[in-house]
Chains A and B, each alone.
Chain A
Amino acid sequence: MKAAVIVFPGSNCDRDMKVAIEQSLGHAPSMVWHADTELPPTDLIAIPGGFSYGDYLRCGAIAGNSPIMREVVKKASQGTLVLAVCNGFQVATETGMLPGALLRNANQKFICKDVDLKVVSDNKYFAGSFTKGDTVRFPVAHHDGNYFADEETRKRLHGEGMIAFQYADADGNVNAETNINGSVDNIAGIYNEKGNILADAASGTPDKRRAGWHGRQSVFR
């Protein structure tokens, strides 16, 4: 499998993503600059976490409109796998590849800790080492991880098995107490309808290489 990591100015997790993919696949991904207009041949596109463009305007808004993202959207619609993590989730919603948007955390705090997530849906491309109903522990490091979707979109997410992860406790209970950031229905990660795009708000910034890569690696099938 060939992989490419999109590199935006201001991002600080693109190299972490590179290391994770290298460890997982056994070879390094291509690093693709935001101003490029073509992707190398690739099976997986990773949109990393970080603070693209310093979160100016809205998190992910300027990155979502960068030249390379037009190509990413096109490839995704043709079935190329896309993994969007943390700021990458924000970028993906800004492009319209995924529904909804990410708001400031309800408690106004930057949240940096390991959290338990319930695996809500099975997927034929991602989440190879865990299945629906499992609980996984991922690191979170975000300030704007509060997923919002309107009522109609929420119904679609539930109805079409598009919810990947929900904030939960270690036993997989999903409730208001386990909702760390105010996300609707505790949503931490979603798929698109076809299942070839996975975005999650977890797996965050400084400590993921210490704590998270066991979880992150297992995202790849």
Chain B
Amino acid sequence: MKARVTISLKNGVLDPQGKAIEHALHGLGFDGVNDVRQGKIIELDLGDIAKENAASEVERMCTQLLANTVIENYSIELLD
């Protein structure tokens, strides 16, 4: 079982890196870009684990370490 965790800053939390990317895209002529938010993806290889256990295990990993829920949202995808 593999899992992919996507972490992004919450709405309302300033994302200076996203802003810098937005400015750079505008500089390249991509004027249609209204906003950029950046984040990170963490891929986990969980070995032989039942799908239902994997979901709760990754959830715990997110709240304890992978994401800081003061400033970040996370979403979990389980990949067979």
Contacts and interface: CB of A to CB of B under 8 A. Distances in A.
Contact of A57 (B13, B20, B65): B65
B66 A106 contact: no
Contact of B20 (A108, A149, A150, A182): A108
A116 interface: no
A93 B16 contact: no
Interface string B60-72: 0000111010110
A151 to B, nearest CB: 10
A182 B9 CA distance: 16
B68 to A, nearest CB: 6
A58 B40 CA distance: 11
Interface stretch (A38-46, A96-104, A193-201, A205-213): A96-104
A93 B72 CA distance: 14
Contacts of B20: 108
Interface in B1-37: 9, 13-14, 16-17, 19-20
Contacts, number: 40
A94 B16 contact: no
Given A108-B16, A146-B14, A148-B13, A101 B71 contact: yes
B14 to A, nearest CB: 6
Contact of A106 (B9, B14, B65, B68): B14
Interface string A148-167: 11100000000000000000
A103 B13 contact: yes
Contact of A103 (B64, B65, B66, B71): B71
Interface in A18-70: 57-58, 61-62, 65
Interface in A134-148: 146, 148
Contact of A61 (B9, B13, B19, B68): B68
B70 A103 contact: no
Contacts of B71: 101, 103, 148
Give 9 closest A-B pairs by Cβ, nearest first: A101-B70, A101-B71, A104-B16, A108-B16, A108-B20, A106-B16, A101-B68, A65-B65, A58-B68
Given A101-B70, A146-B14, A182-B16, 5 more contacts: A100-B70, A104-B17, A108-B19, A148-B13, A148-B71
Interface of B: 9, 13-14, 16-17, 19-20, 64-66, 68, 70-71
